[in-house]
């Protein structure tokens, strides 16, 4: 068997590259990142006739070879670098039958690079609907290529495409038009100066502000110095080039394509008018959003409980069958709950992406962006930030993953950084118990103070997100193109296969990207909570048994006292006590300190830790509350959880980045530790300051 054929899928955004990619590779695909940047890299294997295999890359969508974004850079770098292991033996240019004219611009440029190319005209199922017919043999001749007329939706033309790929050696590498005729003399000079280089590549190097990082440095410098024309002249030539390309394409399509508008039937215009309406548009979007979140809460509750219980019983079961010892504890109390802490996010991730990909696939998302963009842009966010920000109220993990479709890196980064401020469901247990302790029960205008406080906390979270987005937009010096939505794609019934693959891919990305980090941190936290130095920890059982020898405690009560004593003297306990001086001005004692340190794993752990420290069973909510109510402030006297310290704690949890899983996913999505650490430091510092101010002011 020979080597694999390298195939690159290239095309404008939304032409169906990913659908063609899915049709060719099925489940044989993997998704990664291009080294050092956050552009997604999708590759897969396609089995061709006669035992041949092709390695397929789904390149980011690009409008032309004039790079203006990170994504487009990736495409150009690859096409100009013959030494890249992914350099295509054949370029499959995907176009959309409804936008052939615009799509062909890129095709003519790629032809000029003399790479064997196949033109896929996708969405052929739309032709009848739009009254389009094509003269394929004529187009093949004019464009000097082979054409596959494909509908991934109807699964038409894929085997023809595979056949063309298999026989790629028969493709012509001749350009389809002569771009150098825009200035014969100049291009002749260029050809003479660099006889061994591809002419069009030289032209790109001279005119583009591309990062040619991977291509031959020396040549690039030589070529860049060979300008002989002013920049203004070059710009003018470039414009002439584009015009010439469009002239060629128009001429070709005039004969090769006929559009009979009378036979076309289009509802799109009527739909658009309603969905982007100043009142109805927002209303419909609001209803859709609410439905989605309700569904995420309702539908993921059951599987999440199931996962929670399954991992708990798995842990118990492991403990019951393995001999007692450090390894068994590591497995049953460290690794298994750690894995459970990863798996538990899957239902929410899956449901959110189910909805998002349906919204995108159907074409509705572009209308949302159109609607929301004007509002969100004032805060440095994109219209597409609405979905992550709202999903953040369920959980920041899927929400941050949902920023992937924001094209501008700056807008995406800001969305990632501010999303953890929104009130996620893990904050609820903390909020609820503290509110019930420190907020009086009365009502005003029929609304209870406690409910109002909770609502206020949601508003504060949302306000913090939007406010910090506004600041970050001013502060962050990142150049990145803010996309203007030029066109609205057609409405479509979503392809189940595409939706399913998106859900699968996001889930995999989470498990393998962030999962490792979450597992590692949970094992470390487990270790810190289960081990401690000295006799206080190691002889805990003897010490506690002796202390309470005459107290006539039940076995359960004794075990709880021992657990409490151990936690107090474990490494986490020691850390919690060590930070007491720092948190005393906030109105907290060392027990709260321990709970804060351990709830870094996840905010809801706060309540469970306090239960352990107060040695009450963690499922008896009333007892925890009673114990908390009975705690006395060691310095000031009076109840520990009073109005001032309670508000201070609420604000602390509203702002602090108390969630290792979020940090892990931010690391994955930004491809660096810089941003999660930045988030951790800034959010925690802010939380501390606000909590401090609140306590000092209220006490
Ligand atoms: P990409 O941006 O180029 O990767 O395009 P996608 O594969 O994500 O597809 C863009 C949109 O076109 C999606 O909504 C697809 O469901 C839709 N689509 C893809 N192939 C076809 C097709 O053959 N017919 C129709 N009608 N729609 C398609
Ligand atoms: Mg795609």
| Averaged pLDDT of the chain | 86
Distance 554 CA to ligand 1 centre (A): 66
How far from each other are the two terminal CA atoms of the chain, in whole angstroms?
A: 79
* Alpha-carbon dihedral sign for residues 590, 595, 599, 603: negative
Question: Could you tell me the CA-to-CA distances from 522 to 16, 169, 426, 450, 609 in Å, in that order?
Answer: 41, 54, 16, 33, 15
Kindly give, in sequence order, each residue whose CB lies less than 8 Å from that of residue 283, ignoring residues fewer than 6 positions away: none
Contact by Cβ (8 Å): 690, 655: yes
Dihedrals φ, ψ of 556, to 5°?
Answer: -60, -50
Question: Mean pLDDT over residues 564-577, rounded?
Answer: 89
Task: Look up residue 606 and give its two tokens.
Answer: 């706060």
For residue 266, the model assigns a pLDDT of: 61
Query: Which CATH number describes the domain made up of 4-170?
Result: 3.40.50.300
Could you tell me the pTM of the whole model? 0.64
pLDDT in tens, 452-500: 898 899 899 999 999 999 999 998 887 666 555 446 677 888 888 889 9
% of the chain surpassing 70 pLDDT: 92
* Alpha-carbon dihedral sign for residues 270, 271, 277, 279: positive
Distance 182 CA to ligand 1 centre (A): 35
For residue 94, the model assigns a pLDDT of: 97
| Pairwise CA distance, residues 394 & 205, whole Å | 48
Burial class of residue 112 in the structure, from the number of CB atoms within 10 Å of its CB (0-12 exposed, 13-18 middle, 19+ buried): buried
Question: Mean pLDDT over residues 336-364, rounded?
Answer: 86
Distance 238 CA to ligand 2 centre (A): 28
Contact by Cβ (8 Å): 117, 111: yes
Rounded to the nearest 5 degrees, what angle is found at the Cα of 59, between the Cα atoms of 56 and 64? 135
* Residue ranges per structural domain of the chain: 4-170, 179-251, 280-475, 517-698
Highest mean pLDDT out of 109-123, 210-224, 558-572? 109-123
Question: Mean pLDDT over residues 273-287, rounded?
Answer: 87
**Nearest ligand 1 atom, CA 11:** 3
Residue identifier of the C-alpha nearest atom 24 of ligand 1: 123
Residue identifier of the C-alpha nearest atom 13 of ligand 1: 361
More confident call, 149 vs 76: 149
Length of the chain, in residues: 699
- The ligand whose atoms approach the alpha carbon of 128 most closely is 1
**Nearest ligand 1 atom, CA 154:** 23
Pocket, ligand 1, Cβ cutoff 6 A? 11, 13-19, 61, 122-123, 125-126, 151-153, 361, 492, 495, 498
Distance 362 CA to ligand 1 centre (A): 9
Distance 20 CA to ligand 1 centre (A): 8
Highest mean pLDDT out of 456-460, 546-550, 567-571, 681-685? 681-685
- The ligand whose atoms approach the alpha carbon of 106 most closely is 1
**Nearest ligand 1 atom, CA 22:** 7
Question: Mean pLDDT over residues 407-424, rounded?
Answer: 91
Q: Out of 19, 31, 505, give the residue to mutate to test ligand 1, the one with the largest number of ligand atoms within 8 Å of its CB.
A: 19
Distance 407 CA to ligand 2 centre (A): 12
Question: Mean pLDDT over residues 17-36, rounded?
Answer: 81
**Nearest ligand 1 atom, CA 94:** 3
pLDDT in tens, 609-618: 887 777 665 5
% of the chain surpassing 90 pLDDT: 33
**Segment holding 122, helix H or strand E:** strand 117-122
| Pairwise CA distance, residues 192 & 196, whole Å | 9
Highest mean pLDDT out of 37-46, 337-346, 418-427? 418-427
For residue 699, the model assigns a pLDDT of: 84
Dihedrals φ, ψ of 11, to 5°?
Answer: 170, 170
For residue 628, the model assigns a pLDDT of: 85
Cite the DSSP H helix spans in 421-514: 427-438, 449-475, 496-509
More confident call, 225 vs 428: 428
Kindly give, in sequence order, each residue whose CB lies less than 8 Å from that of residue 20, ignoring residues fewer than 6 positions away: 9, 92, 94, 120, 122, 150, 152, 158, 161
* Alpha-carbon dihedral sign for residues 36, 39, 40, 42: negative
* Alpha-carbon dihedral sign for residues 87, 90, 91, 96: negative
Task: Look up residue 569 and give its two tokens.
Answer: 């003297």
Distance 353 CA to ligand 1 centre (A): 17
For 377, the 3-state DSSP assignment is: helix
Dihedral (Cα; 672, 677, 679, 685), 10-degree rounding = -170
**Nearest ligand 1 atom, CA 494:** 16
For 93, the 3-state DSSP assignment is: strand
**Nearest ligand 1 atom, CA 151:** 23
Distance 123 CA to ligand 1 centre (A): 7
Residue identifier of the C-alpha nearest atom 25 of ligand 1: 123
130-157 b/e (C-beta count within 10 Å ≥ 16 → b): bebebeeeebeebbbbbbbbbbbbeeeb
pLDDT in tens, 283-333: 998 888 888 877 777 788 889 889 989 998 998 999 899 998 888 888 888
- 352 pLDDT more than 60: yes
| Pairwise CA distance, residues 539 & 548, whole Å | 14
Q: Out of 9, 13, 16, give the residue to mutate to test ligand 1, the one with the largest number of ligand atoms within 8 Å of its CB.
A: 16
**Nearest ligand 1 atom, CA 14:** 2
Question: Could you tell me the CA-to-CA distances from 453 to 448, 466, 592 in Å, in that order?
Answer: 9, 20, 21
Q: Out of 120, 156, 361, 492, give the residue to mutate to test ligand 1, the one with the largest number of ligand atoms within 8 Å of its CB.
A: 492
**Nearest ligand 1 atom, CA 150:** 23
Question: Mean pLDDT over residues 346-375, rounded?
Answer: 85
Question: Mean pLDDT over residues 197-226, rounded?
Answer: 70
- 119 pLDDT more than 90: yes
Specify the DSSP class assigned to residue 332: I
For residue 1, the model assigns a pLDDT of: 44
- 59 pLDDT more than 60: yes
More confident call, 635 vs 86: 86
Strands 29-33 and 40-47 come out as antiparallel
- 231 pLDDT more than 90: no
- The ligand whose atoms approach the alpha carbon of 19 most closely is 1
DSSP tally for the chain: helices H, then strands E: 34, 11
Residue identifier of the C-alpha nearest atom 19 of ligand 1: 16
SS (H, E, C) 442-465: CEECCEEHHHHHHHHHHHHHHHHH
**Nearest ligand 1 atom, CA 15:** 3
For 417, the 3-state DSSP assignment is: helix
For 127, the 3-state DSSP assignment is: helix
Contact by Cβ (8 Å): 381, 367: no
- The ligand whose atoms approach the alpha carbon of 11 most closely is 1
Question: Mean pLDDT over residues 224-233, rounded?
Answer: 74
- The ligand whose atoms approach the alpha carbon of 12 most closely is 1
- 214 pLDDT more than 60: no
| Pairwise CA distance, residues 148 & 158, whole Å | 8
More confident call, 646 vs 51: 646
Residue identifier of the C-alpha nearest atom 27 of ligand 1: 123
For 6, the 3-state DSSP assignment is: strand
For residue 495, the model assigns a pLDDT of: 87
| Pairwise CA distance, residues 148 & 136, whole Å | 9
For residue 548, the model assigns a pLDDT of: 82
For residue 68, the model assigns a pLDDT of: 66
Distance 607 CA to ligand 1 centre (A): 47
- 622 pLDDT more than 60: yes
User: Model confidence at 181, in pLDDT bands (50, 70, 90)?
Assistant: confident
- The ligand whose atoms approach the alpha carbon of 95 most closely is 1
- 161 pLDDT more than 80: yes
Question: Mean pLDDT over residues 197-211, rounded?
Answer: 77
Distance 552 CA to ligand 1 centre (A): 72
Counting other chains too, the contacts that 478-484 makes at CB distance below 8 Å and 24 or more residues apart are 478/409, 478/410, 478/413, 479/410, 480/69, 480/70, 480/408, 480/409, 480/410, 480/411, 481/68, 481/69, 481/407, 481/408, 482/377, 482/382, 482/408, 482/410, 482/411, 483/382, 483/407, 483/408
- 413 pLDDT more than 70: yes
Contact by Cβ (8 Å): 503, 354: yes
**Nearest ligand 1 atom, CA 361:** 14
Question: Mean pLDDT over residues 195-223, rounded?
Answer: 71
| Pairwise CA distance, residues 291 & 682, whole Å | 34
User: Model confidence at 619, in pLDDT bands (50, 70, 90)?
Assistant: low
For residue 492, the model assigns a pLDDT of: 82
For residue 375, the model assigns a pLDDT of: 84
For 581, the 3-state DSSP assignment is: helix
- 386 pLDDT more than 70: yes
């Amino acid at each position: 068997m020979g080597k694999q054929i390298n195939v690159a899928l290239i095309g404008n955004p939304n032409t169906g590259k990913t659908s063609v990619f899915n049709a060719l590779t099925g489940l044989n695909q993997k998704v990664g990142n291009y080294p050092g940047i956050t552009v997604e890299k999708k590759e897969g294997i396609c089995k061709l006739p006669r035992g041949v295999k092709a390695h397929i890359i789904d390149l980011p969508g690009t409008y032309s070879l004039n790079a203006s974004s990170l994504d487009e850079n990736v495409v150009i770098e690859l096409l100009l670098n013959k030494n890249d292991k992914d350099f295509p033996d054949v370029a499959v240019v995907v176009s959309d039958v409804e936008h052939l004219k615009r799509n062909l611009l890129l095709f003519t440029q790629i032809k000029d690079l003399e790479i064997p190319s196949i033109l896929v005209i996708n969405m052929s199922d739309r032709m009848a609907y739009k009254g389009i017919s094509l003269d394929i043999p004529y187009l093949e001749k004019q464009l000097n290529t082979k054409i596959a007329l494909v509908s991934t939706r109807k699964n038409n033309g894929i085997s023809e495409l595979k056949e063309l790929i298999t026989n790629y050696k028969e493709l012509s590498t001749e350009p389809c038009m002569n771009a150098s005729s825009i200035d014969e003399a100049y291009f002749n000079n260029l050809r003479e100066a660099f006889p061994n280089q591809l002419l069009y590549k030289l032209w790109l190097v001279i005119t583009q502000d591309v990062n040619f990082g991977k291509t031959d440095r020396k040549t690039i410098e030589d070529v860049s110095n060979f300008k002989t024309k002013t920049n203004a002249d070059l710009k003018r030539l470039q414009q002439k080039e584009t015009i010439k390309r469009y002239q060629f394409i128009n001429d070709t399509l005039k004969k090769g394509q006929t559009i009979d508008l009378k036979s076309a039937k289009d509802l799109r215009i009527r739909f658009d008018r309603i969905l982007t309406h100043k009142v109805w548009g927002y209303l419909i979007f609001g209803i859709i959003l609410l439905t989605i979140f309700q569904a995420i809460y309702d539908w993921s509750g059951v599987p999440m409980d199931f996962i929670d219980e399954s991992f708990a019983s798995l842990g118990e079961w492991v403990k019951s069958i393995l001999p007692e010892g450090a390894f068994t504890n590591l497995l049953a109390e460290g690794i298994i709950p750690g894995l459970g802490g990863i798996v538990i996010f899957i239902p929410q991730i899956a449901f959110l992406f189910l909805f998002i990909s349906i919204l995108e696939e159907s074409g509705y998302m572009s209308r949302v962006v159109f609607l929301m963009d004007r509002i969100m842009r004032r805060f440095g966010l994109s219209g597409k930030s609405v979905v992550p920000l709202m999903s953040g109220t369920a959980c920041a993990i899927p929400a941050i993953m949902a920023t992937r479709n924001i094209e501008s890196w700056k807008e995406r980064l800001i969305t990632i950084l501010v999303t953890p401020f929104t009130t996620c469901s893990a904050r609820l247990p903390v909020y609820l118990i503290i509110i019930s302790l420190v907020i009086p029960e009365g009502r005003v205008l029929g609304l209870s103070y406690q409910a109002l406080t909770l609502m206020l906390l949601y508003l504060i979270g949302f306000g913090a997100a939007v406010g910090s987005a506004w600041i970050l937009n001013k502060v962050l010096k990142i150049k990145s193109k803010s996309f203007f939505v030029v066109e609205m794609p057609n409405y479509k019934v979503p392809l189940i296969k595409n939706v399913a693959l998106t859900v699968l891919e996001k889930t995999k990305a989470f498990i393998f990207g962030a999962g490792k980090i979450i597992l590692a941190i949970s094992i470390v936290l487990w270790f810190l909570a289960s081990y401690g130095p000295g006799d206080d920890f190691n002889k805990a059982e003897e010490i506690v048994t002796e202390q309470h020898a005459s107290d006539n405690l039940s076995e359960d009560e004794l075990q709880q006292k021992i657990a409490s004593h151990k936690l107090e003297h474990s490494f986490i306990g020691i850390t919690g006590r060590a930070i007491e001086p720092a948190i005393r001005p906030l109105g907290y004692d060392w027990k709260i300190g321990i709970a804060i340190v351990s709830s870094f794993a996840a905010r809801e752990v706060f309540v469970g830790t306090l239960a352990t420290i107060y040695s009450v069973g963690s499922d008896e909510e009333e007892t925890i509350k009673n114990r908390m109510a009975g705690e006395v402030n060691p310095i000031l006297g009076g109840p520990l959880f009073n109005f001032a310290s309670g508000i201070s704690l609420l604000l602390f949890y509203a702002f602090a980045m108390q969630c290792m899983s979020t940090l892990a996913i931010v690391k994955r999505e930004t491809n660096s530790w810089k941003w999660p650490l930045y988030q951790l430091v800034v959010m925690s510092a802010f939380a501390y300051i606000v909590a401090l101010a609140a306590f000092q002011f209220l006490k």
